[in-house]
Structure 1
Amino acid sequence: MSNDEIDDTPQPLLSHLIELRQRLLWAVGAFFVAFLFCFFFAKQIFNLLVIPFKWAVSWAGLEGRQIELIYTAPQEFFFTQIKIAMFGGLLIAFPVIASQIYKFVAPGLYKNERSAFLPFLIASPILFLIGAALVYFFFIPMVLWFFLSMEQTGEGGQVAIELLPKVSEYLSLIMTLIFAFGLVFQLPVVTTLMARAGLVTAEGLAKKRKYAIVGAFIAAAVLTPPDPASQIGLAIPTILLYEIAIYAARRVERSRARRKQSDDADSDTGESAAETPSS
């Protein structure tokens, strides 16, 4: 059997279902363990997520201000910790979940398809973490600084208006931005896979660039809070990643063209050898 062939040994449906159950048990088990770990340290994790708020307060020139977050329902902070555990558990368990999905699908792929798929399996979480880091270290402080600038002091007979975020809403803001940026940073991976499958071309992506720019701003308006800072902050990286996706698609097409030329040359050589009369 060639290395490029699928392992097409017939297997009963029951064996596939048993393997699927085993993969699901490993994935669910990894998530459950990670969930318990994150729930045990939920308050510490939440304190880490509050650090960008402290940076925003510093940027706003309010260094002496004490950071306060509130919850208005007895169960609110408990369910916030549940969300933290689920969010953190999913991130921690993702390598195990992705590996189990790959192990279940891999036997049905050609060897060259498996070798081509693995780099994307590694690149996907790395790009997601880059997007999450960009949110944590830059965009969350910038967004909160924008909201803090709307506060009103009680000087001159004015009513004092101070930002006191609820724990659930603060976590929702961070999770929304992290997921939005994490998904946007998957654009080169998705586009490259589609280019390898022949679903898109670099020329087609380049022609649709103006629509992609408009779509980036529309997606940013939907996925981010209603402030220009976060919307522009998501739209610009999206446009840059679209350009990277076009470049990646061009590389895929060049690689495919070189491989086709090599195969044609080998085929011509084989035909010439077959036509040469034996002495």
Structure 2
Amino acid sequence: MSAQQETFIAHLIELRDRLIRALLAVIVVFVCLMPWAGDIYDILARPMMNTLPEGTNMIATGVVTPFFVPVKVTMMVAFVFALPWVLYQAWAFIAPGLYAHEKRMALPLVLGSTLLFLIGMAFCYFFVFGMVFKFIAEFAPKSIVPAPDIEQYLSFVMSMFLAFGITFEVPVAVILMVKAGIVDVAKLKEARPYVIVGAFVIAAIVTPPDVISQFMLAVPMCLLYELGIILAGWMSKSSPQAAAAADYVPPSITGGDGEVGRIEAKDGERDKG
């Protein structure tokens, strides 16, 4: 077996170990939370329950639905609680292969994207749900007594969490596009009108057919796009000097072959990282 094959197998073994550690962390947290699975679902259902008529409850149409739905919710919460450890395992796996400047950029992006996703979920839970459910309850005919199914409610909540979590990743996406050289800050500023239209179109597709939820998804998307432009512009101003210093190779290192010198310099940077 060649050295390259041995290295590849070693990486696969390390990846397996990291995945197992991350999965075990989620399982441990899940087992610890299981005794309160019903309470956790009640917390998730609180925005809906606050808008239902007094004395009205949600229903479960399936035989095993009252058991499996709280279990799914508890698993989701367990993953959120174990997310720092899961991210650490991912970082520990990829960090040895990164240059020093890549490490400096990658870690803030990973932490920032995770924090923004959680903020998006929190914004959806604390602000969007209450307004959307209240609007639906007021719009519904008085002859109807709403009794939402808990499984359909969970599906709706998960889709909304995903939509708002991804929406709040817009600054990270903007920064990555600028750093990768796909677009520059000037082009992003010129694209503002198209982004605003696109934000409202996306909001109309992924949210329920009410104006409030569409507005509350589109407006943060536009504001976060502006935040991404500001951060990308700030990083672009501070990066040329660092990039020049990183690419500079002293003549004593390059000798007669500049490309070899650059490769050796990058190898030295990797060792420093």
Alpha-carbon distance between aligned partners in 1 of 2:186 and 2:163, rounded to the nearest angstrom = 27
Report sequence identity in percent. Answer: 37
Q: Which has the larger radius of gyration?
A: 1
CA distance 1:219–1:35, shift in 2 (3 Å): farther
**What do you get for the CA RMSD once the two structures are aligned?**
2.4
8 Å contact kept, 1:192–1:249: yes
TM-score (norm 1): 0.80
Q: Which residue is 1:50 aligned to? A: 45
Amino acid at match of 2:18: R
Q: Which residue is 2:70 aligned to? A: 81
Residue 178 of structure 1 and its aligned partner are, at CA, apart by 1.5
Deviates more, 1:230-239 or 1:25-34: 25-34
Pairing 1:168–2:163 present: no
Residue of structure 1 aligned with 2:132, choices 130, 134, 143? 143
Alpha-carbon distance between aligned partners in 2 of 1:195 and 1:201, rounded to the nearest angstrom = 5
Pairing 1:31–2:26 present: yes
8 Å contact kept, 2:95–2:103: yes
Unaligned runs of 5+ in 1: 1-8, 154-159, 268-279
TM-score (norm 2): 0.82
SS of residue paired to 1:194: helix
CA distance 1:110–1:221, shift in 2 (3 Å): same
CA distance 1:264–1:97, shift in 2 (3 Å): closer
CA distance 1:199–1:34, shift in 2 (3 Å): farther
Alpha-carbon distance between aligned partners in 1 of 2:78 and 2:236, rounded to the nearest angstrom = 38
Residue 197 of structure 1 and its aligned partner are, at CA, apart by 2.6
CA distance 1:31–1:264, shift in 2 (3 Å): closer
8 Å contact kept, 2:40–2:74: no
Residue of structure 1 aligned with 2:175, choices 192, 195, 212? 192
Pairing 1:117–2:117 present: no
Give deviations 1:39-73, integer Å, cap 9, x for gaps. 4322111111122224445xxxx6xx134100112
Q: Which residue is 2:254 aligned to? A: none
Residue 31 of structure 1 and its aligned partner are, at CA, apart by 2.0
Alpha-carbon distance between aligned partners in 2 of 1:199 and 1:34, rounded to the nearest angstrom = 41
Q: Which residue is 2:61 aligned to? A: 72
8 Å contact kept, 1:205–1:246: yes
Q: Which residue is 2:17 aligned to? A: 22
Q: Which residue is 1:271 aligned to? A: none
8 Å contact kept, 2:40–2:70: no
CA distance 1:115–1:260, shift in 2 (3 Å): closer
Give the structure with the higher percent helix: 2
Amino acid at match of 2:13: I
